[in-house]
Amino acid sequence: MTEGKPFNIDLGRLKSREKDRSPQALEKVDRAGEELGFIGRDAQKRRGRRPSPRTGQVHAKVMPEVSEEIANEAKRRGVQQGVIIEEAWALYKDKSGN
């Protein structure tokens, strides 16, 4: 049997049976499975916005027009105000040679 094809397959004899794939049939299958402990185990998608990694805070009071400009720029770019402050800090560090 190890030489050549081990056996001949007559593809014409291999038929698929008709299967009920309706939502009602699937519900019956799910219910039958659940009774025997075959339950849904797919990872559930997380709902809502993911928590921000920005957990640090600064306590800065600035002039009203600066506050408004930061808020407008953040809104325009669709980012948190903290991103603007992080970028400003990066520029400051760069300018200071840090």
Partner 1 sequence: MPTVVIASPKGGAGKSTTAILLGTELAHAGANVVMLDCDPNRSLTLWADRGPLPDRMRVLSNVTESEIVKTIKQYDTDGQIVIVDLEGVASRLVSRAISQADLVITPMRATTLDATIGIRALQLIAEEEEALDRKIPHAVVFTMTKAIRSKQHSGISSSLAAQGVDLIDPPLMERSAFSALFEFGGNLRNMPAQGNMNGAIDNAAQFAQAVYKRLAGEV
Q: Which residues of 63-76 are buried (b: 16+ CB within 10 A; e: fewer)?
A: eeeeeeebeeebee
As a whole number of angstroms, the distance between CA 33 and CA 11 comes to 33
Amino acid at 46: R
Is residue 11 part of the contact set for partner 1 (CB under 8 A)?
A: yes
Give residues 58-77 in contact with partner 1 (rule: CB under 8 A).
none
Binding window for partner 1 (CB under 8 A); candidates: 5-13, 49-57, 69-77, 83-91: 5-13
Binding window for partner 1 (CB under 8 A); candidates: 35-43, 52-60, 63-71, 80-88: 35-43
Given candidates 37, 53, 78, 97, which one binds partner 1 under the rule CB under 8 A?
Answer: 37
As a whole number of angstroms, the distance between CA 26 and CA 40 comes to 13
Q: How many CB atoms lie within 10 A of CB 30?
A: 13
Binding window for partner 1 (CB under 8 A); candidates: 19-27, 49-57, 64-72, 75-83: 19-27
Interface ranges with partner 1 (CB under 8 A): 1-2, 5-11, 13-17, 19-21, 25-26, 28-42
